[in-house]
Chain A
Amino acid sequence: MEQEFKKEFKFKKSKGKKHTNMVKYIIKRIVIMFPMLILALIITWLLAQMMIVSPVLFKVGHDDPQLLQAEMERVGYFDPWYVKLFNYLKDFFTGNWGESYILDEGKPVLQFIGEIFPKTLELMIIPIILTPIIAVKMGATAARHKDKSKDNIIRVITILAAGFPIFWIATMLQIGFGVYLKEFTNDLFDIPVLLLNSGDFTDYPGPIGGFRTNFRIIDSIIYNDQAFLWDTVLHLILPSICMVFVSLAGISRLTRSSMLEVLDSDYIRTARAKGVKEDDVIQKHALRNALIPTSNLIIMSTAGSLLGSLFIEMSFHYKGFGWTFLDAIRKGDYLVINGLMVFAIIVTLVGILVTDVMYTIIDPRITYS
């Protein structure tokens, strides 16, 4: 009796140790993130310095060389490199990310990002929620009926979704919805909005100076404008279908292979031999264990999806994160490029951190010594 008590006590102590170790691990990771962030900032600064397109030239024009000189001096083009770097880092950490030079004259970059990022977030929220649900279900079904018709159909769908380029699938969907839906249904479904481009997509034209969150959906709910909400949702349907279709492949394949591994293992055989219902075997025992590597991928791809997809935004002319980034590169607005790149790096770093931490929480076998 005493020995059993001692054993149980030891077990509890080791679990507590795991938790404190995990907190230490998290703190260590966060602390390492800062030097990495600074290094990434230096790299982005270097990239911006190497840019050939001169935004001053774009704005001022080739006419007046003296005006060009004066403008360049004002902007700080002729300072030595350490001054530039120091100013850059100082500005970054005090929140002054500069002002947009060309894209939107004089608007601070942080505010600019605050206006643009919600659009990408709106676009991505449906794929982020739907893709794991559908993909895990597909992967589990494919693993369960291995080598039968369901498995083969699902494998074909995933390979097609992963193989064809995103921008081409988007274009084909646009053609399908734009041309064939109209023709084959005799103009029943002639919704031009479903078709193409959100070129004239603006923020909610609400009361000036009123409260806005820059999310079209939330703004339209706040101000109770139903037509605007419906317009937004219609614009978002087709890109979301595209994004979900393309993201299905990775998660589904991983779920399928890890489910196959799990279904071959001994404890599943024991559960079946014990007489557990087949549904319970799959749901309660197999799927939970199989989802451990899958959850890693889901969290990682969620963090990556937050930045949006450049191809989908270009295909649908949706002025989100990626579109603005390309626009800024083309015009040479290097402060905006810097700001957007740094923002992307921050999101990615936080995503990696969250993935690692969640992985240690989810998998009970991992301990830290």
Chain B
Amino acid sequence: MTEQDITKEEIDYKDFSVSGNKKWKRLLKFYLLPFWRDPEFSAYENEIEKIKSKRRLFRRFLTPLTITGFLMVLFIVILAVYGPWFTDIPLEMVLPPQLPGVPFQPPSPEHPLGTTKSGFDVYARIIWGARTTMSMAFIPVIIMMAGGLILGTITAYLGGTFDYLLMRFVDLMYSLPMLIITIVLIPMLTEDLWNILIIWGVLAIPYNIRFMRSLVLQVKQLDYVRAAKVGGALKFKVMFKHIVPNSFSPIIITFFGGAAGTVLGLAGLAFLGIGDPTVATWGIDVTWARERLLTAIWAALWPGIFIGITSIGFMLMGDGVRDALDPRLHKVK
């Protein structure tokens, strides 16, 4: 990625509302004397530089890989939102108690990608599964980030005993491998998709608390935050007003990384058989396809490719955002 050259645009000084004589004197001074600043010219230049730098920032996001990632995610979102336009088969016909057709047929004009276990159409399952995957990608991550942000901010601000205890608790949660805990916990408690997502989000909060807390600690020692505290602003107001804008970019990066991880993790849980049977998930497709592993390749191929597209899309977007926002802030001096 190359830096954009700073091109100096032609400014039409005729539109400038300055009185006649003074204008020429000031123009001469502005161009000839090296350090002379005229407030009106400078303000105008400043505005143009702001617009140019915003455009430069936006252009930094548009690397080929990031655009690819964005298009992948957009593709899945379109499949999820405009699902019924792409297939005639309603959701009930691709869920377990039904037996709509001949199992494990190769791709045919009727079933564009073939059929799987009880005659479910692979194409229809992918489209209905896109909806589940989209909610899988967003809901646990939002819970995780919100919980991490709130708890992290509170502990970093309060400090002392509460902070110490919470950090020990977070260390304890780090020592329990998350996959094993979810495998034990989820079949016990619930089978509904929303509850599974909420549980996953809540279990993933400790991993985020540490991260958010370090961000808050960094911001807390900036001078203007201290000044706000001394000036008498309310604690929580100071916290949320100053900290959130500063930690915007790490939050977005964690959001995309978390989305990719959640999609893969929940697809893995569905593969192991732990999931919601009233909803179409892509993970169960792979388990069903393994019954006829060698003969029905299409049944296992397409769900996995789509899981891959979703998570790779999120990863590429996260990488792109990180490349655009973070290192440049440190490099461009």
Contact = CB atoms under 8 A, between A and B. Distances in A.
Interface stretch (B16-24, B90-98, B246-254, B305-313): B305-313
8 contacts: A160-B312, A162-B312, A164-B308, A167-B268, A314-B271, A329-B184, A329-B187, A352-B174
Interface in B269-298: 271-272, 283, 286, 289-290, 293-294, 297
B188 interface: yes
Contact of A171 (B171, B289, B315): B289
B311 A163 contact: yes
Given A175-B294, A326-B183, A341-B180, A159 B304 contact: no
A329 B183 CA distance: 9
B316 interface: yes
Given A39-B172, A159-B315, A174-B293, A165 B267 contact: yes
Interface string A297-323: 000000010010011001100000000
A362 interface: no
Contacts of B272: 310-311, 314, 326
Given A40-B176, A345-B176, 15 more contacts: A43-B176, A159-B312, A163-B311, A163-B315, A167-B271, A168-B303, A171-B290, A172-B304, A178-B293, A304-B177, A310-B272, A315-B290, A326-B183, A348-B176, A348-B177
B264 interface: yes
A159 B320 CA distance: 13
B175 A352 contact: yes
A52 interface: yes
A36 B171 contact: yes
A349 B179 CA distance: 16
A211 B304 CA distance: 45
B99 interface: no
Contact of A36 (B172, B268, B286): B172
A171 B175 contact: no
A313 to B, nearest CB: 10
Contacts of A162: 312, 315
Contact of B180 (A167, A344, A349): A344
Nearest to A156: B65
Contacts of B300: 168, 171-172, 175
Interface residues of B, number: 40
A40 B175 contact: yes
Contact of B188 (A52, A164, A174, A310): A52
A352 B300 CA distance: 37
A106 B168 CA distance: 38
Contacts of B179: 310
Contacts of A167: 268, 271, 283, 286
Interface of B: 65, 168, 171-172, 174-177, 179-181, 183-185, 187-188, 260, 264, 267-268, 271-272, 283, 286, 289-290, 293-294, 297, 300-301, 303-305, 307-308, 311-312, 315-316
Contacts of A169: 304
A168 B307 contact: yes
Given A171-B293, A314-B271, A47 B175 contact: no
Contacts of A311: 268, 271-272
A72 to B, nearest CB: 19
A36 B175 contact: yes
B187 to A, nearest CB: 7
A39 B171 CA distance: 11
B307 A341 contact: no
Nearest to A328: B184
A308 B172 CA distance: 21
Contact of A348 (B175, B271, B307, B308): B175
Contacts of B176: 40, 43, 345, 348
Q: Most chain-A Cβ atoms within 10 A of its Cβ — which of B184, B286, B303?
A: B184
A278 B174 CA distance: 41
B190 to A, nearest CB: 11
A138 interface: no
A315 B290 CA distance: 9
B293 A165 contact: no
A310 B297 CA distance: 23
A196 interface: yes
A286 interface: no
B293 A196 contact: yes
Interface string A40-62: 10010001001110000000000
B307 A165 contact: yes
